[in-house]
């Protein structure tokens, strides 16, 4: 007998009402747009040192 046949699936353990409520909550959750995520990433990485991609590409070519 395979392992996945012996372990009950989470969906099967949840009642229909709970599954509907979980889906409703997932739909209602506000998802951030790409621009919002990009702005947050810029804030988090502001002032950090970074290596420009040109340098990384050059180094990778030199290693070949």
How far separated are the first and last CA of the chain, in Å rounded?
Answer: 49
What domain count does the chain have? 1
User: 3 or 27, which is more confident?
Assistant: 27
CA distance 5 to 25: 30
Q: Model pTM?
A: 0.39
The whole domain housing 22 covers 3-63
Is the model's pLDDT at 46 over the cut of 70? yes
Q: In this structure, are residues 19 and 11 in contact, taking their beta carbons and an 8 Å threshold?
A: yes
Instruction: Quick: pLDDT tens for 4-38.
Output: 554 455 556 668 888 888 888 888 877 888 999 99
User: 60 or 64, which is more confident?
Assistant: 60
Place of tokens 């951030």: 32
């Amino acid at each position: 007998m395979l392992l996945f046949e012996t372990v009950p699936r989470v969906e099967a353990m949840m009642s229909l009402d709970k599954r509907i409520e979980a889906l409703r909550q997932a739909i209602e959750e506000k998802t951030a747009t790409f621009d919002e995520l990009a702005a947050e990433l810029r804030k988090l990485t502001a002032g950090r040192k970074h290596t420009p991609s040109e340098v990384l590409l050059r180094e990778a070519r030199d290693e070949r």
